[in-house]
Amino acid sequence: MNRDARKLVAQMTLEEKAGMCSGLDVWHLKGVERLDIPSIMVANGPNGLHKQAGSSEGLNMGNGIPSTCFPSAAALASSWNRELLHEVGVALGEVCQAEDVAVLLGPGTNIKRSPLGGRNFEYFSEDPYLSSELAASQIQGVQSQGVGASLKHFAVNNQEHRRMSYDASIDQRTLHEIYLTSFEGAVKKGQPWTVMTAYNKINGQYASQKEYLIGDVLRKEWGFDGVVVSDWGAVDQIADSIAAGLELEMPGNNGLSEKKIIQAVQNETLPVEVLDLAVERVVQLIFRHVDNKKEHVSFDQEDSHRLARKAAGESIVLLKNSNGVLPLEKSSKVAIIGAMAQNPKFQGSGSAIVVPTQVDIPLHEMKQLASNTANLSYAPGYILDTEEVDNRLMEEAKRAAEEADIAVIYAGIPDGFESELSDRRHLRLPYNQEQLIEAVASVHNKVVVVLMNGSALEMPWVSSVSAIVEAYFGGQAIGGALADILYGEVNPSGKLAETFPEKLEDNPSFLSFPGEGNRVVYKEGIFVGYRYYDKKKMTPLFPFGHGLSYTTFDYSNLKLSRSHMNDTETVEVQVTVTNTGTRSGKETVQVYVKDMVSTVIRPDKELREFAKVDLEPGEQTTVTFNLDKRAFAYYNVELKDWHVESGEFAVMVGCSSRDIFQQALLEVESTVSLRQTYTRNSLLGELMNNPAAAPMIQALTQNFQASMGIAEGDEKMSKIMQAALGAMPLRSLVSFSQGAFSDEMLEHLLSQLNAPATHS
Ligand code: BGC
């Protein structure tokens, strides 16, 4: 078989080339039979394989072949465990191999700008570093099996409201620091075979047509060498998209786009060389699949289910555990309350739906672990899919609780409330579930609430209950994983990858989400998630990085390998973590960095590293991290690059963004000096900070003070004058000196200041 993509493209007709850039149907790419280029299949993920059963004509979301449904990204992110994400990726890759799927459409690494985002359950975090690290691990796992991943939705796709038409108006610093960083690590480390462009516009241009995004950032800066594919239906003008660097439009549209491509080439609005390069990349993708295809792959569904249970167990976050009510005694009398104990909500809705191979029922799984099933009672408490309170069910639940040692309520967001295509309207549980929690808590002082939801929740009932277990949409094995956690078979180790605000209105994007008409202004800038709550000194309901354990950990001995570095060097950070409790457990060590003094507005702290460790009681380990320039940098819009402002930085280590145990200081020096260009309107104050200009300005201002009649030694007046002068533009010297300092002298001064530095 001829593997030289360029040569194959050279043999294609214009019609064949155009065909390669637009799908065959919903899930297949076209091939060229006469050149032995086969058609390949892509299918949805990201937390399981959704391969449509039967024909590929329509987009039939509920109709897929059964495949293990792993925890959704929101859940997996709470594991903060790169190896686990890799392992899940491997399992996903295996099933794709077995099903002859070339590319799995995921993971999604968009930032959770607002907790209302309808697809937040499909995304990892509000923090770009955590998000991109986990995405990279999952991609590496999938691709280790010879199957491509499709990193999506590139970029600034953070809401479902008007998702195909909104225009995200976003400043360059925010774009790079928050929204692109979330993809950057995933592209550089994960090297996905494909990247999927988003539906929305960014600063006036559709993501699928934005050359800056695809050509400059993705390909040139990050070195992406795969195929850029559109989200399904995201292309407005196919020729413009190809010109901007996109290679493949999906799904196919029965030849319409082909015609447009052919026309654009014929009327010379699309250079044929650009089309050739696009086709070459699509052909390379096809052969990447062909070359990596394994025959007769099978995978063990039971093994896969066990992995789903392990993954869910590592992802569950113990949010609250007053008086150590959890873990449950196996001999306790437990009232299990809530319809979700029988009908667990284990995944969100939309294209991420997976048809599970089996589903663990929480109630049954608890019975498996309890020492005597007769000690467990069950009351549904509410009717799913309605918000109306059912008084009979509520009274029955209260009675069950009264007769038990402890009540465990399964609550969550029912089907359809968290879904692709629509954002949430509020952050509350359904009314009947909230009422049930309060009602049960009014008759029992030991109430545990287990939550199954895709994104942050408000909890007006938080102080009425003893313990809260956040399970997210934990996949098909969540029932078993929850039983493991509740009975202490598994020690909880999940940490929130997003902030839970006290109320929706506290969220930084609240006033500008989901925008006006098609325009969404990202007014909060870089202050997304904890970056905002920290800066505002607001106490959220549960902070970013929070999660409890049944054991305790101690942090000690934070050491930096140096106290000074420049921005081409790295610093090694070491900290010792000890399990000081009586159970083995896992802890996620989080490293944040703060710029102590900065002329640009920066967050109070930013996550720069993390690691999960597993320790037996009494065991200790030293964790080592390396921080480079990027850990200290912000995106400088003038430089169009990352920049470190020389000065002191704090390296902080803790177990959440609000529990910092150790801190050390470090001087970082920039090797890039920011050259400032001065104009007539530059402020005198700015020049005073420039060593070349300071003496001259000092002299001029002294003369000026004298001319204003301020006596030498009049400290008070001189101070006031200094402040006033500092805020004056240079041109004021001319008019206030009434020409003594002339316009010509000012021009001369500026030419001296702006002259390129001479090097000896
Ligand atoms: C979604 C993508 C998905 C694609 C194919 C789109 O509507 O945004 O995430 O992969 O459909 O189903």
- The neighbour count for residue 45, using CB atoms within 10 Å, is 31
Domain made up of 5-47+69-292: CATH architecture: Alpha-Beta Barrel (3.20)
Strands 585-595 and 647-656: what pairing? Answer: antiparallel
Which run of H or E residues covers position 154? strand 148-154
Interval between CA 350 and ligand 1 midpoint (Å): 8
The label of the residue with tokens 């039967």 reads 54
Q: Whose CA is nearest to atom 5 of ligand 1?
A: 232
pLDDT digits (tens, 9 = 90+) for 339-378: 999 999 999 988 889 999 999 999 999 999 999 999 999 9
- Of the residues 25, 167, 231, 534, only one is catalytic, namely 231
Tell the residue nearest (CA) to atom 11 of ligand 1: 232
Centroid of ligand 1 to alpha carbon of 239 (angstroms):
22
Query: Which two three-digit tokens encode residue 738?
Result: 């009434």
Cα(421) to centroid(ligand 1), Å: 10
Runs of H (alpha helix) within 677-742: 684-688, 694-707, 715-726, 731-736
What is the length of the chain?
760
CA of 153 to the centre of ligand 1 (A): 9
Q: Which among 196, 232, 353, 419 is the best mutation to test ligand 1's pocket, defined by most ligand atoms within 8 Å of the CB?
A: 232
497 lines ligand 1 (CB under 6 A): no
pLDDT class of 62 with cuts at 50, 70, 90: low
3-state secondary structure of 9: helix
pLDDT at res. 427: 96
The residue assigned the tokens 């998630």 is 529
pLDDT higher than 70, residue 524: yes
Q: Whose CA is nearest to atom 7 of ligand 1?
A: 232
475: left (phi over 0), alpha (psi -120 to 50) or beta: left
Distance CA 19, CA 257 (A): 8
Q: Which residue has the tokens 């009049």?
A: 714
CA of 289 from ligand 1 middle (Å) equals: 21
Q: How far is the CA of 315 from the centre of ligand 1 (A)?
A: 25
Binding site membership of 160 for ligand 1 (Cβ less than 6 Å): no
Reported as a single tens digit per residue, the pLDDT across 67-100 is 999 999 999 999 999 999 999 999 999 999 999 9
How confident is residue 421, by pLDDT bands cut at 50, 70 and 90?
Answer: confident
For a substitution probing ligand 1, which of 47, 351, 353, 423 has the most ligand atoms within 8 Å of its CB? 351
Instruction: Specify the residue with its C-alpha closest to ligand 1, atom 3.
Output: 351
pTM: 0.95
Nearest CA to ligand 1 atom 4: 232
Give the separation between CA 693 and CA 752, rounded to whole angstroms: 9
CATH number of 553-669: 2.60.40.10
Cα(282)–Cα(288) distance, integer angstroms: 10
pLDDT digits (tens, 9 = 90+) for 155-166: 999 999 999 999
- Express each pLDDT in 590-604 by its tens digit: 999 999 999 999 999
d(CA 642, CA 634): 6
CA distance 453 to 470: 8
- Residues 69 and 356 sit within 8 Å (Cβ to Cβ): yes
Report domain extents, the chain: 5-47+69-292, 317-491, 553-669, 684-753
* pLDDT higher than 80, residue 389: yes
Give, as one character, the DSSP assignment of residue 570: -
The CATH architecture of the domain made up of 317-491 is 3-Layer(aba) Sandwich (3.40)
Residue of the nearest CA to atom 6 in ligand 1?
Answer: 232
Distance from CA of residue 491 to its chain's centroid?
Answer: 26
Site to substitute for ligand 1 among 105, 165, 199, most atoms within 8 A of C-beta: 105
The per-residue pLDDT for 758 is 57
Q: Is the distance from the beta carbon of residue 56 to the nearest atom of ligand 1 less than 6 Å?
A: no
Please state the atom number of ligand 1 nearest to the C-alpha of residue 61. Answer: 12
Share of the chain above pLDDT 90, in %: 84
Sign of the torsion formed by the C-alpha atoms of 677, 679, 681 and 683? positive
CA of 256 to the centre of ligand 1 (A): 20
Which residues 6+ apart lie within 8 Å of 476 measured at CB? 68, 69, 70, 305, 308, 346, 354, 356, 357, 358, 359, 360
Q: Is 105 close to ligand 1, i.e. is its CB under 6 Å away?
A: yes
Is ligand 1 within 6 A of the CB of residue 194? no
Q: Is 231 a catalytic residue?
A: yes
Q: Is the pLDDT of residue 696 over 80?
A: no
Residue-wise pLDDT tens digits, 190-206: 999 999 999 999 999 99
User: Which atom belonging to ligand 1 lies closest to the Cα atom of 199?
Assistant: 8
Which range in 483-497, 685-699, 731-745 is most confidently predicted, on average pLDDT?
A: 483-497
Q: Say if ligand 1 is within 6 A of residue 123 CB.
A: no
**CB atoms near residue 28 (< 10 Å):** 18
Q: What is the pLDDT of residues 630-666, one digit of tens each?
A: 999 999 999 999 999 999 999 999 999 999 999 999 9
For ligand 1, atom 8, the nearest C-alpha belongs to 231
What DSSP string describes 254-320? TTHHHHHHHHHHHTTSS-HHHHHHHHHHHHHHHHHHHHH--TT----HHHHHHHHHHHHHHH-EEEE
Distance in angstroms (rounded) separating the CA atoms of residues 483 and 492: 11
51 lines ligand 1 (CB under 6 A): no
Which phi and psi angles does 198 have, rounded to 5°?
Answer: -80, 170
Q: Is 154 in the pocket of ligand 1 (CB under 6 A)?
A: no
Question: Whose CA is closest to atom 2 on ligand 1?
Answer: 231
Separation of alpha carbons 574 and 439, rounded Å:
48
Q: Give the span between the Cα atoms of 156 and 111, in whole angstroms.
A: 8
